Amino acid sequence: TRSQDMSGPVTEDQEKLLDEALSVVKLQAFQMKRCLDKAKLMDALKHASNMLGELRTSLLSPKSYYELYMLITDEMRHLELYLLDEFQKGGEYAGSLYLLITVGVVYIKCSEISRKDILKDLVEMCRGVQHPLRGLFLRNYLLQCTKNVLPDCVEEEQEDSGSVSDSIDFVLLNFSEMNKLWVRMQHQGHTRERDRREQERRELKLLVGTNLVRLSQLDTIDVQRYRSVVLPAVLEQVVNCRDALSQDYVMECIIQVFPDEYHLATLQDFLQACAELNPAVPVKNILISLINRLSAFATRDGSNGIPSDIPLFDFFSEQIAKIIENKPDLSPEDLVSLQAALTGLALGVYKDREDYVDKVLETTNSGLDKLGVEHSWQATSTTTRICPRELMKLLKLPIDLWNDALVLLRLRHYSPLLQRLDSPTKKSVSAYLLQNMLNNGTLVPSSEQVEQLLDLVRCLVADPGADAAAAAADATATNSLGGDPGDGSANGAGPGSEADNEDLAEEQSLLGRVVHLFSTGPDLLDEQFGVLKTARRILATGGGRRVKYTLPPVVYQAYQLAIRCAAGDPLPYRKL
């Protein structure tokens, strides 16, 4: 005997149960079409009813039920086409829910005068099925059948046949009921099968999201109607359901299906709803998705950009700050991912606002401190460690979008955030910055900027903690370009592994190539001499293993400077 409990059938029985149901459907569909061919409508409706009776089962899994549902709805189209012809001659219809939906849609297609009343009756009629699985598919069938008959005009145009307001009410009511049925699925069956039911719910989420897709396809819904009617109703249903899976999916669905201009006009309302969601909802993913979409919109060709009266950066910055404040259990990875998205927004929409990027970097640094994230050299087995991959992504964003290392030197909080990384990741970001300078030919025109740059990438210039010792060893060499750079004993100049030596050679060769970008211009000879002195002084702290790569470019630059000096008055430059 078949159990009526959803959890009854085991996986091995699903195929057998589905085959039996499909066989019945195929037989009844064949008989229905034979009766339609012979113009025996009542007999055809009887077979259609028998076919639809298979949908009353509670034994099938969602996947099997979906396969059965698709076959039946395909067969019902034959009846729909026949009834469409018959209704033009004055036909009649049966009372099954699926049949009533089919007949109702046909009646609307034949005569639009009572369209809004029929739509209202159909959506209310579906309340009669409160079983979560069967109710979801019944309402999805209703949404599918009414796709092309929903009124899409303003109230003044066709008052008798309905307006877009009737369509909005119809879809919103159907969405609300479907969401409730979807949420109730988690309470079906035994508690030990909760994980399986959650997976089944994820498989059915598209049925709920189709309602929002249908709303987005109504051309008469403008920004004002969306802001005043559609979004408040959807957000109210989402917030009140308190189900994490439902809230997460519907909020993401809102972002994806409605136009970017609508999101800009309702940004504060949407962000306020995000603050009211279940704590289990990953709000980070929702905000990142919205930020990325609006960033892409602002930089899209043909786009008018972000209106000046919408402080987009401030809205998101405040919302992210609230999340950091209200979620002490927020992981470092989530915090940095949020800030990376905000940085992308600042760089994409407000390219000239360096202060926005610096503000994000400052907030990231303070947020990591608040979460108890130690610097790489301070971290122990009991402390919270930094998330190198996410932080590296954040630090590379300004490099990629500005393509100007000198701008980074003006950011007060870039270097402190970079120093949080472990040594290999820090070297990777530093090398990435230097390679970007080479690719874009970024010149460094002053001694101060040379010092700032080499301090920023000091992980490549010298070993950690070696600067003081090396500086003392090279004290006699810091007053001119000449002198012995030292044997590098303070900088681990002893032989290392072959792999370490290869990595070191690659890093220092890159740094040596960047030295050729230390240039003040053809006429500023004194300034160029100061730039080379600064570079020589700092690079000498790298010790013997490093200066053999970095000192030759400085010497070459000095020879070039000497040649330029020789063309003028050489007396001031005899010290070269």
DSSP 414-470: HHHHHTTS-HHHHHHHHHHHHHHHHHHT----SHHHHHHHHHHTHHHHS-TT-HHHH
Residues constituting the chain = 576
Question: Model's pTM, two decimal places?
Answer: 0.76
Closest CA to 270 of 304, 314, 236, 305: 236
Q: Which amino acid, residue 456?
A: L
Lowest mean pLDDT among 279-283, 342-346, 367-371: 367-371
CB 438 within 8 A of CB 513: yes
What pLDDT, on a 0 to 100 scale, did the predictor assign at position 128?
A: 81
Residues sharing a CB contact under 8 Å with residue 191, sequence separation 6 or more, in sequence order: none
Q: How far apart are CA 29 and CA 42, in angstroms?
A: 14
Q: Which amino acid, residue 330?
A: L
What pLDDT, on a 0 to 100 scale, did the predictor assign at position 326?
A: 80
Percent of the chain clearing pLDDT 70 (strictly above): 85
Closest CA to 25 of 81, 91, 80, 74: 74
Structure confidence by residue, pLDDT tens digits, 209-231 = 999 999 999 999 999 999 999 99
What pLDDT, on a 0 to 100 scale, did the predictor assign at position 373?
A: 80
On the 0-12 / 13-18 / 19+ scale of CB atoms within 10 A, 78 is: middle
**Could you write out the DSSP letters of every residue in 254-306?**
HHHHS-HHHHHHTHHHHHHHHHTS-TTS-HHHHHHHHHHHHHHHHTSTT---S
CB 222 within 8 A of CB 175: no
CB 86 within 8 A of CB 111: no
Instruction: Take residue 31 and report the two structure tokens written for it.
Output: 């008989």
What share of residues in the chain are helix, strand, coil (percent, to 5)? 70, 0, 30
Q: How far apart are CA 24 and CA 18, in angstroms?
A: 10
Backbone angles phi, psi at 352, to 5 degrees: -90, -5
Q: How far apart are CA 352 and CA 402, in angstroms?
A: 10
Instruction: Take residue 528 and report the two structure tokens written for it.
Output: 């160029």
Structure confidence by residue, pLDDT tens digits, 494-529 = 555 666 788 899 999 999 999 999 988 777 888 889
What pLDDT, on a 0 to 100 scale, did the predictor assign at position 115?
A: 87
Q: How far apart are CA 288 and CA 171, in angstroms?
A: 28
Torsion over CA of 420, 424, 428 and 429, rounded to 10 degrees? 0
